Structure 1
């Protein structure tokens, strides 16, 4: 029986130039891989591949040189080590993420937990073309959120609490966007300059800032044959329910309007960003 290459690709098996050889893409969410999973992958690469793996640009792992006749047994043995196959083709791909607030001092959101939820909600969903999510914890933007079809970046809106402030001026010094000024013992924040990095609040020795953590979401980023920066269309979101409602609306817009083989950015350009803005604002406002 002839191989069903479309089904194999959907299951993460990409044809190599070598006959009957496949590079197997594994499911890695948010860049997190357990020691047990790593040991299993190493064993499979030695036993069924050429003894090495490829680390992809999107935090993935691929095992090259899997033979067509070994695919079923490879999948079964990987499953014993809690390793799942990834996906390719026109569907939602693996969600990438930095380590976020659970590990990184700069992190404003728990990126790992959010990446898992996004993956559970969207991974593998059939769409007119591939669709990528990226989650980054702060303005350092290690995961380059705006390169993704939907990018989520952590941010913090701050409110100054005069009673707790000792006018030390540290927040003014650490603010890279020069949004904070100290004069006559009082703090002034220029919200037009604030980039929501939260460095002021994190550095304050007396906790004189009330923090409201949230998600800065961008839409329509690409970084392949065509390079486009994702655009922020709605204000910062402060709860997961609204976040997922907005992301649902964006994917629904893409599914409804995209031509086959057309990336989200191209759909936005063809249909018009104002039409997408209307849908996203409706979702944002509930």
Structure 2
């Protein structure tokens, strides 16, 4: 098989292995979810064309290794027939990683729904200067490490302290895992610099002294991980979930317009200036 054919297959989700006669097929999931019928089909593919097993990638894709080069077209045809997507490589938005915030007791946003909506509008979008990774965390527990993606989204619940309703019971103090709330006499003090907006104090307060002021998402840009790493910068504010797709579009458009070929978003930020990139993007978001 020639190099151009191998290159094209990689873009389609068929990755040549160390043993050049074999490929791993990478299946793109819906934010980590696969229905039972499709999973059964993947099991059949693994048994018939592979070596009877499959694995999961760090971006919630499924890979079936040991597909012989002579069987690639047959596997591709079967997967297409069952509506199963392959891919996950190239200079474009990569498969979206979303935690289980939709069902998790800690989730502040519907991570799976958000991931699916972004996927429908943006997945596989071409012309980005380099790969573009996006992660969605349902809460500040941050299981998917939002700040290590080119664009990270994190669920937030901002509390508002109503001193008149507070009796100093201390339940909110116990609920806060980052020690951002301290008891002073019969009242409490909230350190906003330490608060992560997890919202647990709101749930703990039985008298409504910790009120929900705003629920939405924090946005981080410019993160990356690998041979080199960078923690993403947070954009000021908490954003409405209904605006997330528009924000994703703004950030990706900026990358397409200002990034150089082969340059990650983080590198572009450092070249242009972190503050300038943040200000440019914030200005566009404020005009939504």
TM-score by length of 1: 0.91
- In the other structure, the counterpart of 1:119 is 119
Alpha-carbon distance in structure 1 between the residues aligned to 2:87 and 2:246 = 25
Gaps of 5+ in 2: none
Counterparts of residues 182-201 of structure 1 (less than 5 Å): 182-201=183-202
Alpha-carbon distance in structure 2 between the residues aligned to 1:161 and 1:121 = 41
Task: Give 2:216's match in structure 1, choosing from 214, 217, 233.
Answer: 214
- In the other structure, the counterpart of 2:242 is 240
**Shift in Å at residue 156 of structure 1?**
0.8
**Shift in Å at residue 163 of structure 1?**
5.7
**Shift in Å at residue 84 of structure 1?**
1.4
Structural RMSD (CA): 2.0
Gaps of 5+ in 1: none
**Shift in Å at residue 43 of structure 1?**
0.4
My pick for the range that moved more, 59-68 or 3-12, is 3-12
- In the other structure, the counterpart of 2:230 is 228
Q: Give the secondary structure class of the aligned counterpart of 1:252.
A: helix
Q: Give the secondary structure class of the aligned counterpart of 2:114.
A: helix
**Shift in Å at residue 148 of structure 1?**
0.7
Residues 231-269 of structure 1: CA deviation (Å, up to 9, x unaligned): 11332213422x333322221121112222111111111
- In the other structure, the counterpart of 1:17 is 18
Whether the aligned pair in 2 keeps the contact of 1:53 and 1:63 (CA below 8 Å) is yes
**Shift in Å at residue 184 of structure 1?**
4.8
Alpha-carbon distance in structure 2 between the residues aligned to 1:284 and 1:208 = 32
Please tell me whether residue 69 in structure 1 is matched to residue 70 in structure 2: yes
Whether the aligned pair in 1 keeps the contact of 2:28 and 2:95 (CA below 8 Å) is yes
Alpha-carbon distance in structure 2 between the residues aligned to 1:185 and 1:239 = 36
Alpha-carbon distance in structure 2 between the residues aligned to 1:95 and 1:11 = 17
Alpha-carbon distance in structure 2 between the residues aligned to 1:203 and 1:78 = 48
**Shift in Å at residue 143 of structure 1?**
0.5
Alpha-carbon distance in structure 1 between the residues aligned to 2:125 and 2:69 = 25
Please tell me whether residue 27 in structure 1 is matched to residue 28 in structure 2: yes
- In the other structure, the counterpart of 1:153 is 154
Whether the aligned pair in 1 keeps the contact of 2:152 and 2:220 (CA below 8 Å) is yes
Whether the aligned pair in 2 keeps the contact of 1:136 and 1:144 (CA below 8 Å) is yes
Whether the aligned pair in 1 keeps the contact of 2:138 and 2:155 (CA below 8 Å) is yes
**Shift in Å at residue 200 of structure 1?**
0.3
Whether the aligned pair in 1 keeps the contact of 2:158 and 2:197 (CA below 8 Å) is yes
Q: Give the secondary structure class of the aligned counterpart of 1:223.
A: coil
Alpha-carbon distance in structure 1 between the residues aligned to 2:184 and 2:226 = 48
Whether the aligned pair in 2 keeps the contact of 1:233 and 1:277 (CA below 8 Å) is yes
TM-score by length of 2: 0.91
Whether the aligned pair in 2 keeps the contact of 1:55 and 1:61 (CA below 8 Å) is yes
Alpha-carbon distance in structure 2 between the residues aligned to 1:195 and 1:187 = 17
What stretches of structure 1 move > 4 A for 4+ residues in a row? 162-166
- In the other structure, the counterpart of 1:132 is 133
Whether the aligned pair in 2 keeps the contact of 1:28 and 1:86 (CA below 8 Å) is no
My pick for the range that moved more, 199-208 or 104-113, is 199-208
Whether the aligned pair in 2 keeps the contact of 1:134 and 1:151 (CA below 8 Å) is yes
Whether the aligned pair in 1 keeps the contact of 2:161 and 2:210 (CA below 8 Å) is yes
**Shift in Å at residue 49 of structure 1?**
1.3
Residues 51-88 of structure 1: CA deviation (Å, up to 9, x unaligned): 11121122211111223332332123224444211221
My pick for the range that moved more, 106-115 or 250-259, is 250-259
